[in-house]
Amino acid sequence: MELADVARRRKMVRSFSTEPVPAHVLDHVLDLACRAPSAGNTGGWDAVVLAGPDETAPFWDATTTADWRARSRRWAGLSRAPVVVALFVDPDAYRARYAEPDKDGPDGELGGVDGEWPVPYWFVDGGFAVMVMLLAATDAGLGACFLGNFRGEAALRGALGVPDDRRYVGAVLMGEPTGDDPPSPSLARGRRRASEVVHRGGW
């Protein structure tokens, strides 16, 4: 598929069949995500790949409540996703990388070790990796959805054995779309167009 077609076709899919994602397709999506840009080439993210209901159940237990599951129109479709990729980032890896001479010396950029990080690069990197996964999944004919980090970060780390110093970015769900998602209320806002967001030559 052409890149423009992939970008246009990509949308959040919130209802999946239970059909497993072939291992070679999943590996391809994850390999491409490793091509994402990374601040200082730190590559400070890790993906915990959960495949099949036995592995995905602890993810849902940690990140949703029984009350939400009972009320959500999306729960049935989301919970069937055969693959959940939970993405974690390592802030200390970025602090260490930006303390190296090429970053912290006179020619360096940020001095992000003792100073503030106006933008936490670990979350920027996480977002880039997620975006590549979403595009690669679309290109492979899969449906995919990113779920943000609203609750359960510590519980999720515990359930998946993730070290305490890692931050949870969110999860990419992948699988075959069933095509019957309840429409997201967010879509009613419409998408801002280039003519609305682009400021040429200044704000």
Ligand X SMILES: Cc1cc2nc3c(=O)[nH]c(=O)nc-3n(C[C@H](O)[C@H](O)[C@H](O)COP(=O)(O)O)c2cc1C
Interface contacts to ligand X, rule CB under 6 A? 11-12, 14, 146-148, 184, 186-187
Nearer to ligand X, 186 or 195 (CB): 186
> Least distance in Å: CB of 85 to ligand X?
14
52 φ/ψ sector (left φ>0, alpha ψ -120 to 50, else beta): left
Closer Cβ to ligand X, 47 or 103, answer by number? 47
Closest distance between ligand X and the C-beta of residue 107, in Å? 33
Closest to ligand X by CB, 10 or 28 = 10
DSSP letter at 179 equals S
Nearer to ligand X among residue 117 and residue 146 (C-beta): 146
> ∠129-115-162 over CA atoms, to 5°?
40
Burial 19-32 (b: 16+ CB within 10 A, else e): eebeeebbeebbeb
Three-state secondary structure string covering 66-104: HHHHHHCCCHHHHHCCCEEEEEEECHHHHHHHCCCHHHH
- Tell me the closest approach of the beta carbon of residue 191 to ligand X, in angstroms: 7
Q: Which tokens hold the place of 161?
A: 């054995």
State which amino acid sits at residue 196: E
Least distance (Å) between residue 201 CB and ligand X:
28
Nearest-angstrom CA–CA distance, 195 and 63: 38
Q: Closer to ligand X at the Cβ: 52 or 182?
A: 182
Nearer to ligand X, 17 or 149 (CB): 149
Amino acid at 30: L
CB of 68 to ligand X, least distance (A): 11
